Amino acid sequence: MSTKKLEIPEWTGSALTQGAFLNYALSVLKVMARHGFNNLALTEIGPQLQEEVNRLSEFINLPRAFDETPEIEKADTKRDALWKALWYAWHYVMQLDPTDPLYKAALQLRPTMNAYKGVYRHELSKETMELEGLRRDLGVEANATALETLGLDRIATGIFTANEIVANVIAEREQTRGQRIAQKGDDTALQLCKQIVQTLTDAIRQVNAVNRIQSSEVVAQAVQDICGVIEHYRLVAAQPASKQGDGTTATTPAGGTDTPTVNAEDVE
């Protein structure tokens, strides 16, 4: 009586984030390479998968590769903190007696301050443009005088200095991104994910076929190792996208489907 051989499931990485999917594909690729493309009849598919995974890695890791990332994070944190300081200082002055000169200065600023309430919650580029608008509005003579009366002009200057740093880095980032994407042609991360899904499926079918027809210890071990990788990433896929990270850890039961898709302000 023969025992049915273990087969690799044709799992596509459904519900994985693009970062986790990249590591899933890379993990399977490493297993295949370790056991030998020739041994697994992947002499053509293996190098193709390697090339596709490398291209996807360039896309997904692109934002992390910028040397200016720490600079932009530091400036963004600074402008957000200073905006909160400006907001709360102005807000509490508004609680003074209406006859107080400081209250009158704060009242002058109310339309502008209310218009930008919550600005620090916005997406990086959107916040940058809005803070540039704030700079113009606070630069109006009456508002500038009110800021100075309240002693908040230096805080405002700090916001705009940090915002200028962010704006400059964004401009450099966009230029660099454009240059790198131009070098890669018309590919997008999502297109590459879909392409890798198909190549992975072809590779898995090929390994399964070899295992059925002319198995060996090397092939059997490769099948077992790839099944282990897939089981791990099934656990990852069962987690919410916000908790998947890069897919290197998994703590929840397996789940999800095999659909061939890749999902690539405090109170004031």
Does 153 lie in the same domain as 89?
yes
pLDDT of 204-247, one tens digit each?
A: 999 999 999 988 999 999 999 999 999 998 888 887 765 555 55
Last residue of a domain, one of 151, 183, 215: 183
- Check residue 242 and give its pLDDT: 55
Given a contact cutoff of 8 angstroms between Cβ atoms, the answer to whether 83 and 91 are in contact is no
Residue 251 forms part of a structural domain: no
Backbone angles phi, psi at 17, to 5 degrees: -70, 165
Does 198 lie in the same domain as 177?
no
Cα 72 to Cα 80: distance, rounded to the nearest angstrom: 12
Given a contact cutoff of 8 angstroms between Cβ atoms, the answer to whether 101 and 149 are in contact is yes
Residue 255 forms part of a structural domain: no
Higher pLDDT, 157 or 186: 157
Does 71 lie in the same domain as 59?
no
CA distances from 63 to 58, 66, 172, 176 (A): 9, 6, 12, 10
Q: What is the Cα Rg of the chain in Å?
A: 27
Q: Say what the pTM is.
A: 0.48
Residue 89 forms part of a structural domain: yes
pLDDT of 142-174, one tens digit each?
A: 999 999 999 999 999 999 999 999 888 877 766
Does 165 lie in the same domain as 107?
yes
> Taking 70 as the threshold, does the pLDDT of residue 63 lie above it?
no
Cα 200 to Cα 28: distance, rounded to the nearest angstrom: 8
Residue 76 forms part of a structural domain: yes
**Domain count for the chain:** 2
Higher pLDDT, 190 or 103: 103
> Taking 80 as the threshold, does the pLDDT of residue 251 lie above it?
no
Does 79 lie in the same domain as 59?
no
Domain range spanning residue 213?
20-64+188-228
Cα 256 to Cα 253: distance, rounded to the nearest angstrom: 10
227: its two tokens: 């099944």
Residue 201 forms part of a structural domain: yes
Residue 10 forms part of a structural domain: no
Q: What mean pLDDT comes out for the span 10-31?
A: 86
> Taking 50 as the threshold, does the pLDDT of residue 81 lie above it?
yes
Does 159 lie in the same domain as 145?
yes
Cα 6 to Cα 25: distance, rounded to the nearest angstrom: 20
Higher pLDDT, 180 or 169: 169
Last residue of a domain, one of 150, 168, 183: 183
Residue 40 forms part of a structural domain: yes
> Taking 50 as the threshold, does the pLDDT of residue 254 lie above it?
no
- Check residue 61 and give its pLDDT: 57
Does 121 lie in the same domain as 135?
yes
Last residue of a domain, one of 147, 166, 183: 183
pLDDT over 90, % of the chain: 53
> Taking 50 as the threshold, does the pLDDT of residue 46 lie above it?
yes
User: Which DSSP symbol is given to 17?
Assistant: B
- Check residue 19 and give its pLDDT: 82
Residue 47 forms part of a structural domain: yes
Does 217 lie in the same domain as 147?
no
Q: Lowest mean pLDDT: which of 38-52, 76-90, 114-128?
A: 114-128
Residue 71 burial (CB count, 10 A): 15
Cα 12 to Cα 20: distance, rounded to the nearest angstrom: 12
